[in-house]
Amino acid sequence: MTDRDTQLRSVYIWVCEGTWRAGVDAALSLAPADVRFTLLHVTSAEVPDAARGAYAGLLGRGYRAEDDPGTRLEKMAASSAGDLLEAAAARLGRRCERLEIQGRPERAVVAASADADLLVVARDGDRTRLGPKSLGKTTRFVVDHAACPVLLVWPESAPDVATIPPPPHHPSPPDR
């Protein structure tokens, strides 16, 4: 194995609300100087659609496009995504490409990062109790299906090893 093979050339960072700083920091500390960074953010239509559904359910109120909360949320989501990528690029402080995608986050991330050498993902999930559910559904999907190596980082400092509960007590196999 030569040095050339192990070199990271393209690193994707999945930027998510609330957890992106950890991903950017991890990428900065691990990646060599000449790496190509791509900041990736996916906007899902789910939230605006929920608002639009509630508005559509108001029978008889007519439809006024300027009142449709779904449309307003869509506009705000788009500019909020731009804001987030801008902040992430500023924290990264290196030349990078910004990729803003519309779609289902888990599928869009896997598809976009297929040719990357590394995908940096911040954990999300119920981290109050570490176990199967401490990895959220979308993160779990990406870990399962990503076509490239995935670096999974803690959004806050990693838990102490001492927090692991003791193994369940099984009767030990008889000594032979």
- Range in contact with another protein (rule: CB under 8 A) among 2-10, 23-31, 65-73, 144-152: 65-73
User: How far is it, in rounded angstroms, from Cα 105 to Cα 157?
Assistant: 25
Site string for another protein, 42-61 (x = CB under 8 A): ---xxx-xxx-xxxxxxxxx
Sign of CA dihedral 93, 96, 101, 106: negative
| Other CB atoms within 10 Å distance of the CB of residue 44 | 16
Please list, in sequence order, all residues whose beta carbon lies within 8 angstroms of the beta carbon of residue 145, skipping any fewer than 6 positions away.
106, 110
Q: Checking DSSP bridges between strand 96-102 and strand 118-122, what pairing results, if any?
A: unpaired
Nearer to another protein, 35 or 105 (CB): 105
Among 9, 75, 94, 145, binds another protein (CB under 8 A): 75
User: How far is it, in rounded angstroms, from Cα 155 to Cα 17?
Assistant: 11
Q: Tell me if 83 contacts another protein by CB under 8 A.
A: yes
Among 8, 36, 101, 104, binds another protein (CB under 8 A): 104
> Which residues are at the interface with another protein (CB under 8 A)?
16-19, 21-22, 45-47, 49-51, 53-63, 67, 69, 72-73, 75-77, 79-80, 82-84, 87, 103-104, 124-128, 133, 136-137, 155-156
